[in-house]
Amino acid sequence: MSCLFCRIIAGEIPGTFLYQDNRLVVLQDINPQAPLHALVVPRKHIATLNDLSAEDDGLVGEMVRRAALVAREKGVAEEGYRAVLNCNREAGQTVFHIHLHVIGGRPMAWPPG
Ligand code: AMP
Ligand code: ZN
């Protein structure tokens, strides 16, 4: 298994799990870009946003709702936060197993760089 997030989920590589259930996990990002930087990662290996199918609709809904719950739990829900899915090279995707970034705890600029 070569996928980094599959290996973390399988326990082959250490990770800091903020939450887990039978469909997804929430990892602490190893290189945080803000006071809160978590990654909502499905257990199912899906390489990019482009590889989602209709059968994943429920899973994606769970990811988005989990992001909101993480933000609430970490105390940034009312001030605001960002939930980001990077897809492929120009967006800066580096790990090819979809993950929803949950970033908050500081003001952020728009548009993104
Ligand atoms: P992306 O650029 O959207 O593919 O995001 C990949 C994210 O994974 C980056 O924010 C990295 O800091 C993060 N990352 C890379 N390796 C690890 C790891 N071993 N544990 C947790 N997060 C990681
Ligand atoms: Zn994977």
pLDDT tens profile 48-58: 999 999 999 99
Answer for the pair 43, 25: CB distance below 8 angstroms, yes or no.
yes
Q: What are the sequence ranges of the domains in the chain?
A: 4-104
Contacts of 82-86 with C-beta under 8 Å, sequence gap 24+, read 82/108, 85/49
Tokens of 70: 């993480």
Residues of the chain with pLDDT > 70, as a percent, come to 99
Q: What letter does residue 62 receive in the DSSP assignment? A: H
pLDDT in tens, 30-48: 999 999 999 999 999 999 9
Query: Which ligand is closest to the CA of 6, given by its number?
Result: 2
Residues of the chain with pLDDT > 90, as a percent, come to 97
Give the distance (Å) from ligand 2 centre to CA of residue 5. Answer: 5
Average per-residue pLDDT for the chain:
97
Residue 12 has pLDDT above 80, yes or no: yes
Pocket test for ligand 1, best of 29, 87, 88, 97 (most atoms within 8 A of CB): 29
Q: Which fold has domain 4-104?
A: HIT family, subunit A (3.30.428)
Give the distance (Å) from ligand 2 centre to CA of residue 35. Answer: 26
| pLDDT at residue 73, rounded to an integer | 98
Establish whether residue 15 lines the binding site of ligand 1, counting it when its CB lies within 6 angstroms of any ligand atom.
yes
| pLDDT at residue 9, rounded to an integer | 98
Model confidence at 113, pLDDT cuts 50, 70, 90, reads: confident
Q: How far apart are CA 37 and CA 47, in angstroms?
A: 21
Establish whether residue 73 lines the binding site of ligand 1, counting it when its CB lies within 6 angstroms of any ligand atom.
no
